[in-house]
Amino acid sequence: LNRSGIETIILERSSREHVLSRIRAGVLEWGTVEVLREAGVGARMEAEGFVHDGTWLSDADRLVHIDFHALTGKRVMIYGQTEVTHDLYEAQDALGTRIIHGVGEVTIHDLDGAQAAVDYTLNGTRHRLRCAYVAGCDGFHGVSRRTIPAGKRREFERVYPFGWLGILSKTPPVQDELIYASSPHGFALASMRNANLVRCYVQVPLTDRVEDWPDERFWAEFRRRLPAEAAARLVTGPAIEKSIAPLRSFVSEPLRWGRLFLVGDAAHIVPPTGAKGLNLAVSDVFYLHQALIDALKHGKEAGIDGYSQRALARIWQAMRFSWQMTTMLHRFDDEDSFAAQMRRAALDHLALSETARRELAENYVGLPF
């Protein structure tokens, strides 16, 4: 928006240091890569990111390869969300964007008037911003979604009875591409940030705490959920970050209320199984930035009028894929023997059917914007 001559102001609750210390997603769809390039923030990603042509799915010792590039002509980029945020900060600083950290008590008003108002507290003083539009990028717990009257919102949610315990460790990956591992002991994901930094996960009950999982217990459990050939290559080391993330699927409709637009986690949450959270936020941004430029620079409002419907169509497809991947790979506590057989049958189908592998690959690399 700034590069198009549209002034923006960013309100942030946390400090910059806190924002840049948070460990988040690391798989970028190719559409996300192209949006970052278009925004002029792709140079470091190109230099330091890792392009992956595919991924692996496993059940016990069986491995099935999904070759994204052969099946779709596209790839994914391994580049951490923290690094993307760092690049965006640098670009905004270079443009002179006002980024106000440490704000609290945010309220949004006058969404049906000539200008919206955003009130906030900074250092004990109350402030008000007047603006043409408000982009609510403040996450699941933010104020933006709650500003839309409860009677006008429709919310859809599926809460899963487990979470992901993840660690970051300065150790080499067990494979050159990600492994999504289903096992009788639960799910595990072998991911990475670079050649000597891994991000690994195991499925855990929601009642577990990080303190219940010393490094030795984590690595032992992670190892037994991997296929034997990958487990044999596992190098363990101390965790430099460890956290548990609950899993849920959530969508709130509509994404527009007057001069307010919901973007990213403010509007939708997906399980991390399909690597869609950050990428869905980018597709929202892609649709909205085009619409705002058309409205503010050219007086054309068709884009902002259609933003909610356009974004939701892609959101629900990503929601379906993430739900499918989650149910296909995770063990549920109350499941019967039939469920385990269905997981094996799903992997059998992927192994035997190029059409099934292509459908998974198309969704993983990202549907068109």
pLDDT for 273 equals 93
* pLDDT given for residue 24 in this prediction: 78
pLDDT at position 202? 98
Whole-angstrom CA distances from 331 to 56, 247, 250 are 18, 13, 21
Query: Looking at residue 26, what is its pLDDT?
Result: 86
Beta strands in the chain (DSSP E): 9-12, 27-28, 50-52, 54-59, 62-67, 76-78, 98-101, 104-109, 116-122, 125-131, 134-136, 154-169, 179-182, 188-194, 197-205, 239-253, 256-257, 260-262, 268-269
Give me the pLDDT at residue 25, please: 77
pLDDT of residue 194: 86
Could you list the active site residues? 52, 180, 272, 276, 364
- Strands 239-253 and 116-122: what pairing? unpaired
Neighbour count for residue 172 (Cβ, 10 Å): 15
Confidence (pLDDT) at 354: 98
- In this prediction, residue 22 carries a pLDDT of 84
Residue 242's CB is within 10 A of a number of other CB atoms, namely 18
User: Along the chain (369 residues), what's the average pLDDT of each consecutive run of 10 residues?
Assistant: 95 96 87 96 95 94 94 96 95 96 97 96 97 97 97 96 96 95 95 90 96 97 96 96 95 98 97 94 97 97 97 97 96 89 93 97 95
- Domains of the chain, CATH where assigned: 2-54+69-158+247-332 (3.50.50.60)
pLDDT at 215: 97
